[in-house]
Amino acid sequence: MEKDWMNYRQIYARKAECERKILEVAPNCPNTSGIYFLLRHENGFKFGYIGQAKHLLERLASHLNGYQHIDLSLKKHGFFSAENPTGYEVHFLCFHESELDEKEKYYIKKYANAGYQLKNATVGGQGEGKKGLDNQRPSRGYYDGVEQGEKRARRMIADLFSKHLTVSTKKQPPTKLQEKALQKFMDFINIDNSAE
């Protein structure tokens, strides 16, 4: 029982510390409902995350202990300051709970249209039929990288042949097998750019 008490004490101390850090960068952040914005700029690029919360201060503080994409980015880049100009700025707007879904969708669209690369996984809202932003982003898995590498290699080979080399069979006239091999090579270097 003593051990459980210590765990709760540690949890509440960590929560209070995270809330204190949020209040350092957003001193007037209330613990009421609203929309919050985590925004940063680096090398001409704009990054952001927009979320809704029934309790703004608690929700923002939870990002400091979480493992979502934005949480990890926040840990990596920190908060904006004179010493950290590429860190996240924290902004918020207070709204009634009944307006949160509508406002979150509105601001996600507004910031996406303004050129922000958003770390949001969905287009906002808590209701059924949440649509993901990830569906619109190109996948970046291992096999996608392999596929991109193959396309790049094929382009390089096609460019070399078009500028400097010719392809021919060893025998004239070519055998059926050589004709097939030559056709496969030509298919390999003829990339359909419209498919990209």
pLDDT of 129 reads 45
Query: In sequence order, what are the residues at sequence separation of 6 or more whose Cβ sits closer than 8 angstroms to the Cβ of residue 95?
Result: 33, 34, 35, 103
- Taking the CA atoms of residue 20, residue 23, residue 24 and residue 26 in that order, the dihedral angle to the nearest 10 degrees is 160
In 3-state terms, what secondary structure has residue 194? helix
pLDDT of 175 reads 92
pLDDT of 68 reads 86
Q: Which residue has the higher pLDDT, 1 or 102?
A: 102
Question: Domains in the chain and their CATH numbers?
Answer: 27-136 (3.40.1440.10), 142-195 (no CATH)
pLDDT of 141 reads 62
Handedness of CA 51, 55, 60, 63 (dihedral sign): negative
User: DSSP string spanning 2-38?
Assistant: HHHHHHHHHHHHHHHHHHHHHHHHSTT--SSSEEEEE
In 3-state terms, what secondary structure has residue 93? strand
What does the pLDDT look like over 143-178, one tens digit per residue? 667 777 888 888 888 888 888 888 888 888 999 999
What does the pLDDT look like over 56-65, one tens digit per residue? 999 999 999 8
Give the N- to C-terminal CA distance of the chain in Å, as an integer: 61
| Reported pTM | 0.62
Q: In the structure, what pLDDT confidence band is assigned to residue 127 with cuts at 50, 70 and 90?
A: low
Q: In the structure, what pLDDT confidence band is assigned to residue 18 with cuts at 50, 70 and 90?
A: very high
Token pair 């569906």 is found at 135
